[in-house]
């Protein structure tokens, strides 16, 4: 008689969601080869193929689709039962999966993630950063971290940072023989570090004054998609950069960067930890929420 593993069923659902063994393996915290072997073993035990594989894509077969449709509610019940048991733990343990974007990850790393690990060493954190918005429930995450205005309305949200803001900066050497911009439109006559969004579109720098929004599509010699790399370009005197203030605050305070157009970058919504309502969350889940609420109170 074949022995079926709960983790194998979770793997089938993850591949079905992602449409990729590689992406599912990242979500599951295992290698692509190990995941492929596990699915091949399960298909052999079942005597039916669950996935059609090509060099470019993976898709559920008709049998696989029926399997996913029928097993998903049962797995949800099993995981809920496991959550109920884990909620009774005296010492929080297990793994919490969190989805966010790179800048937010840098902002919450110290006060939330590292502090939590110091307090609860038996809990592991799986932090996934990506630019695109993700359905944290469908993709198997416990929490998400996004700006308050991007949190789905059916989620519970806890602010974990004060109000944030963008800044426009350049190096002192770059500004030495140039006139500083006084209004956003002045940037059109300057070299700027351009930013590509995860969907491939070019990011328009957003400003606001007296309630009036202004979007500028800057020009410049380089296009980047990562703030840490853009920071290097600014420090090497390539042009103006547009950042979350938290990413370059030490550079501004140390004099390595100079901020301009300060009055055109008002406060933004804070970052929030968000999650769906759960009847019996594991102990690790509950103490993570408690820490987030503690941080929220301190940041007011």
State which of 74, 103, 120 marks the end of a domain. 74
In a domain, 86, yes or no: no
Tell me, yes or no, whether 110 lies in a domain. yes
> Could you tell me which residue, 209 or 205, shows the higher pLDDT?
205
The last residue of a domain, from among 43, 74, 105:
74
Do 132 and 258 sit in the same domain of this protein? Answer: no
Residues 140 and 286 placed together within one structural domain of the fold: yes
Same domain, 103 and 230: no
> Do 186 and 125 reside in the same domain of the chain?
no
Based on the fold, state whether residues 204 and 273 are members of the same structural domain: no
| 198 and 259 part of one domain | yes
Whichever domain contains 69, its CATH number is: 1.10.10.10
Whether residue 88 lies inside any domain: the answer is no
288 and 250 in a common domain: no
Q: Evaluate if pTM is beyond 0.85.
A: no
| Same domain, yes or no: 28 and 63 | yes
Q: What is the mean pLDDT of the chain?
A: 89
* CATH code (residue 289): 3.40.190.10
Number of domain units in the chain: 3
The verdict on 151 and 283 lying in the same domain is yes
In a domain, 82, yes or no: no
CATH number at residue 254: 3.40.190.290
In this structure, the answer to whether residues 146 and 131 fall within a common structural domain is yes
**142 part of a folded domain:** yes
Interval 64-79: pLDDT, tens: 899 889 888 888 888 7
Percent with pLDDT over 70 in the chain: 97
Domain that holds residue 273: 94-162+269-299
Concatenating the DSSP letter of every residue in the chain gives: -PPP-HHHHHHHHHHHHHS-HHHHHHHHTS-HHHHHHHHHHHHHHHTS--EEE-SS-EEE-HHHHHHHHHHHHHHHHHHHHHHHHHTT-SS--EEEEEEE-HHHHHHHIIIIIIHHHHH-TTEEEEEEE-SS---TTTTT-SEEEEEGGGS-TTSEEEE-S--B-EEEEE-HHHHTTSPPPSSGGGGGGS-BEEEB-TTSPBPPEEEEETTEEEEE----SEEES-HHHHHHHHHTT--BEEEEHHHHHHHHHHTSSEEE-GGG---BPPEEEEE---SS--HHHHHHHHHHHHHHHHH-
Final residue before a domain boundary, out of 74, 105, 134: 74
Domain assignment of residue 23, yes or no: yes
Q: Are residues 64 and 209 in the same domain?
A: no
Of 75-79, 140-144, 166-170, 281-285, which range is least confident? Answer: 75-79
Same domain, 62 and 133: no
Residue 1 pLDDT exceeds 70: no
Residue % of the chain over a pLDDT of 90 = 52
Question: What is the pLDDT, as a whole number, of residue 86?
Answer: 65
- With respect to residue 87, please indicate whether it lies within any of the assigned structural domains: no
Assess if residue 229 is contained within a domain.
yes
- In this predicted model, what pLDDT tens digit does every residue of 81-116 receive, in sequence order? 777 776 666 689 889 999 998 889 999 999 999 999
């Amino acid at each position: 008689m074949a022995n079926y593993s709960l983790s194998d069923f979770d793997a089938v659902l993850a591949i079905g969601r992602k449409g990729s063994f590689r992406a599912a393996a990242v979500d599951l915290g295992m290698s692509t080869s190990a995941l492929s072997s596990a699915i091949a073993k399960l298909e052999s035990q079942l005597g039916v193929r669950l996935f059609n594989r090509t060099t470019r894509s993976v898709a559920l077969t008709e049998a696989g689709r029926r399997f996913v449709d029928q097993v998903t509610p049962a797995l949800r019940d099993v995981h809920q039962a496991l959550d109920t048991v884990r909620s009774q733990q005296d010492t929080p343990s297990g793994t919490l999966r969190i989805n966010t974007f790179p800048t937010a990850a840098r902002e919450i790393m110290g006060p939330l993630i590292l502090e939590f690990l110091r307090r609860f060493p038996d809990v592991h954190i799986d932090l996934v950063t990506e630019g695109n918005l993700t359905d944290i429930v469908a993709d198997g995450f416990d929490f998400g971290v996004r700006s308050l205005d991007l949190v789905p309305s059916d989620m519970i949200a806890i602010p974990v940072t004060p109000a944030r803001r963008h800044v426009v900066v350049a190096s002192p050497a770059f500004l030495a023989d140039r006139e500083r911009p006084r209004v956003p439109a002045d940037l059109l006559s300057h070299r700027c570090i351009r930013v590509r969004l995860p969907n491939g579109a070019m990011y328009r720098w957003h400003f606001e004054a007296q309630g009036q929004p202004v979007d500028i599509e800057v020009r410049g010699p380089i296009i980047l998609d990562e703030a840490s790399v853009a920071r290097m370009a600014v420090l090497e005197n390539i042009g103006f950069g547009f950042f979350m203030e938290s990413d370059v605050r030490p550079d501004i305070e140390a004099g390595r960067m100079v901020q301009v157009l300060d009055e055109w970058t008002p406060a933004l919504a804070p970052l929030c930890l968000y999650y769906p309502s759960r009847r019996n969350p594991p102990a690790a889940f509950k103490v993570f929420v408690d820490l987030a609420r503690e941080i929220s109170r301190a940041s007011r």
